[in-house]
Amino acid sequence: MSNATSVKRKKSLGFFDPVVVTNPPKFHMGPKQFESLEAQGNVVLTTALRKELANLGSGWTANEVARASARPKQFRRLIRANKNRLKAVFPALDLNPDNASPLQRHFVSWLGNHREGSAAADLWGNAAGLIEPVEKLIRNYEDIETSLPADRGSTRRHDDTRYILQLAAIFERAGGSAKAYYNAYTNDGLGDTKFRRFSRAFYAMLPAKGKRKLRGFDTAVVLALRPRKKSRS
């Protein structure tokens, strides 16, 4: 898996660590993107702040990728498929079962009539020697399946409050004032602040699938900044 990447994620979100994805999206910001953000927020992004923004975008993107990674139900489906494949091997290993047909019993007798070291004699011993290991593997799979957490099937929640707060901190160090609030007198019910425009523009740059819709992101920004606003009042 040469193009796969593994990343440690927060266990509280139900990720199986480490998360492994193939060809993960890469977050990239160039001069044009930084200049666009500066215009949207009427701020000045220094070299250090631009580096912080780039790191924030990479971490946020990785989190969204992990959020869409395999669920317990997908692991459970894989485990059951492997377990069923192992169970299907038993008829080929147990050469003389209790319900053996006359043909099977004839075949076993014929194998036993061969000299030691021959392929026929080795088949009998090798097949019998695999039965117990395969049984153990099946029990391993069953124990692992039992240990998996329940999966209600709902989408994992977005864990973006911390990223929004980091974005707000960068915005303020760039000379802005991170404000977001509801406004009943606007068409969409939200205040048209500079930070709203700045944060929307930055969020739109994240290449990960499964992001919030912009309206949902606006609401997340308001909720993330609310405790901050209370602590400063």
Q: What DSSP designation does 190 have? A: B
Give the separation between CA 120 and CA 113, rounded to whole angstroms: 9
Give the separation between CA 212 and CA 64, rounded to whole angstroms: 10
Q: What is the mean pLDDT of the segment spanning 36-56?
A: 97
Percent of the chain predicted with pLDDT > 70: 91
Give the separation between CA 185 and CA 57, rounded to whole angstroms: 32
Q: What is the mean pLDDT of the segment spanning 57-72?
A: 89
What is the maximal distance between C-alpha atoms in the chain?
A: 94
At residue 149, the pLDDT reads 87
Band (pLDDT 50/70/90 cuts) for residue 155 is: confident
Percent of the chain predicted with pLDDT > 90: 60
Give the separation between CA 228 and CA 46, rounded to whole angstroms: 24
Domain segments of the chain as ranges: 4-70+156-232, 72-147
Instruction: Return the number of other C-beta atoms located less than 10 Å from residue 28's C-beta.
Output: 12
pTM: 0.72
Reply yes or no on whether the pLDDT at 40 is more than 60.
Answer: yes
DSSP assignment of 104-125, as one string? HHHHHHHHHTSPTTSHHHHHHH
Amino acid identity of 53? L
At residue 7, the pLDDT reads 42
Reply yes or no on whether the pLDDT at 172 is more than 90.
Answer: yes
